[in-house]
Structure 1
Amino acid sequence: MSLTEPELPHTDYDFTPHWFEHAGVRQHYLDEGAGEPLLMLHGNPTWSYMWRHLVRDLRADHRCIVPDHIGMGLSDRPAESVYTYTAASRLADLERLVRHLLTERGLPDRGWTLVGHDWGGIIGMAWARRRPDWVSRIVMLNSTAFTMPDGYRLPWFLRLIRSGGRLPAWFVHRTNAFALAASRLGVTSPPPVRVRRAYTAPYRVEQQRLAVVRFVQDIPLAPVDPAWPLIDVGPVETPEMASLPMLVCWGGRDPVFDHRFLAEWVRRFPAADVHLFPHAGHFVQEDARDEVIACVREFLGRHTEGRS
Structure 2
Amino acid sequence: MRPELTDWLARGRYFEHDGQRTFYIREGSGPTLLLIHGYPFNSYDWHRIWPDLTAHYDVIAPDMLGMGFSDKPIRHTYSVLEHATRHDALLRQLDVPHTLLLAHDLGVSVAQELLARRVDGAEVPGIDAVVFLNGGLFAEAYRPRLVQKLLTSPLGNIAGPLMTDGLVKASVREMFGPATKPTDDEMRVLLEVLFYNRGRFVSHLVGRFIDERVTFRDRWAEPLVHATVPMRMINGSLDPNSGAHMAARYREIVPNPDIVSLPEIGHWPQLEDPRGVFEAAHAFLQQNSGD
- Which structure 2 residue ranges, 5 or more long, are not aligned? 120-124
* Distance (Å, rounded) in 2 between the aligned partners of 1:124 and 1:99: 16
* Distance (Å, rounded) in 1 between the aligned partners of 2:135 and 2:18: 30
The residue type paired with residue 87 of structure 2 is L
Q: Structure 1 residues 26, 206: closer, same or farther in 2, change over 3 A? A: closer
| Residue correspondence of structure 1 range 236-275 to structure 2 within 5 A | 236-237=222-223, 242-275=227-260
How many residue pairs were aligned? 283
1:208 matched to 2:199: yes
Q: Which residue of 2 aligns with 1:26?
A: 21
Give 1:11 deviation, angstroms: 7.8
Q: Which residue of 2 aligns with 1:85?
A: 78
1:282 matched to 2:287: no
Secondary structure of the residue aligned to 1:285 is helix
The residue type paired with residue 98 of structure 1 is L
The residue type paired with residue 192 of structure 2 is A
Q: Which residue of 2 aligns with 1:223?
A: none
Q: Which residue of 2 aligns with 1:180?
A: 169
* Distance (Å, rounded) in 2 between the aligned partners of 1:269 and 1:233: 14
Q: Which residue of 2 aligns with 1:217?
A: 208
* Distance (Å, rounded) in 1 between the aligned partners of 2:250 and 2:82: 25
Q: Which residue of 1 aligns with 2:218?
A: 232
Structure 1 stretches of 4+ moved >6 Å: none
Q: Which residue of 2 aligns with 1:3?
A: none
Question: Among the aligned pairs, what percent are the same residue?
Answer: 26
* Distance (Å, rounded) in 1 between the aligned partners of 2:21 and 2:112: 23
* Distance (Å, rounded) in 2 between the aligned partners of 1:243 and 1:22: 28
Give 1:305 deviation, angstroms: 4.7
Secondary structure of the residue aligned to 1:126 is helix
Give 1:115 deviation, angstroms: 0.9
Tell me the TM-score normalised to structure 1 length. Answer: 0.80
Q: Structure 1 residues 301, 89: closer, same or farther in 2, change over 3 A? A: closer
Does structure 2 retain, via aligned residues, the 8 Å contact 1:140–1:249?
yes
Q: Which residue of 1 aligns with 2:280?
A: 295
- More helix, by proportion: 2
Does structure 1 retain, via aligned residues, the 8 Å contact 2:65–2:71?
yes
What's the Cα RMSD here?
Answer: 2.8
User: Residue by residue, what CA displacement relative to the aligned partner does 1:91-134 show, whole Å, maximum 9, x if unpaired?
Assistant: 222222222122xxxx2x12x11111111000121012213671
User: Residue by residue, what CA displacement relative to the aligned partner does 1:204-254 show, whole Å, maximum 9, x if unpaired?
Assistant: 36822233201333312xxxxx56554332765378x51522221111111
